[in-house]
Amino acid sequence: MTPGPPPVRWGVLSTGRQAAAFAEDLMLLDDAELVAVGSRTAASARAFAARYAVERAYGGGPGELAADPDVDLVYVASVNAAHHGAVRTCLEAGKHVLCEKPLTTNVRDAQDLMRLAEARGLLLMEAMWTRCLPAVRRAARLVADGAVGTPHLLRAATGGRAPAPALARLRDPEGGGALLDSGVYPLALADLLLGTPQYIDARSLSTAPLVDDTTALLLGYPSGAMAELACSFATELPAHADLSGGEARIELPAPFYAADRVLLHPARGPSRAWPLPPTGRGYTHEASEAMRCVRAGLTESPLVPWSATLGVLTVTDAVRGAGSASSHRARHRTREGC
């Protein structure tokens, strides 16, 4: 039997809930090895390392982890506002990077990282796990194959009342707000299923500049399709998604961003369902894709291409740029729609 490739050696930057879930899923992959963890404090890094049997723990930010010669690929799970600096440090140190969504808080910073990754020949991938899930990938194939006919309307929302410990992070004007925290999920789904919007109409309720508690968006596409999207950390919102077309409706049950099945409801005839549960909590799929890209020498993932990351950030930039202290409404026509 031909031996498989050596494991990709991972470093995890952050010790929060997201990093812990990712570490647990990484243990399910035979071709992955978690060898180092980095945090802002040595004590937090040591506690995380002890919990997950990680060899090395680094405090003081991303620099020490990025300098570890035994780390091939870094998963960045720090707060949104810290993504740009952390990812840049890792790329400059020659590390491949999988960074939590949103990759950065604006298009300009994302393009800066993409140019650096391309120049260094390193993988840079946004950890938009939704695009890597089997159920979501099947839904995209169904749409591409014409199962719904001409797409008319996508509806998707995500949100819930945030627990008190999360409010400081969510209300940080440098990277907080419902749109950047959870609104990127419906936006990413719209990008996957419908492409680049021609116009953006949005309304946000805010308690501080650049910090939206709730945002509703209406996106229009050159094909005539529309997307009704919403996000909030102040109120509960239904977390399922559906795309209606001339021939059928596709449904991703709640929570759509972690979907374990896809349903097709034709205008005529019985409904069909494809149960496609993720492995582990679902982070395994983005991790496997990142490792496949590293082994193939790719700088970007075909499943989560840079164009998709920039497409979502273009919308968030347009909406957040119109912010005010109480509420705002943004109208924006994209370049393609001019």
Residues with active-site annotation: 101
Ranges of H-type helices in the chain: 17-26, 42-52, 62-66, 83-92, 107-120, 134-144, 164-170, 178, 184-194, 283-296, 306-320
On whether the CB atoms of residues 177 and 210 are closer than 8 A, the answer is yes
On whether the CB atoms of residues 221 and 150 are closer than 8 A, the answer is no
**How many beta carbons lie within 10 A of that of residue 293, not counting itself?**
22
Query: In DSSP terms, which residues pair with 99 in a beta bridge?
Result: 76, 126
Whole-Å CA distances, 315 to 48, 80, 202, 233:
36, 17, 10, 19
**How many beta carbons lie within 10 A of that of residue 282, not counting itself?**
21
Q: Which DSSP state fits 46?
A: H
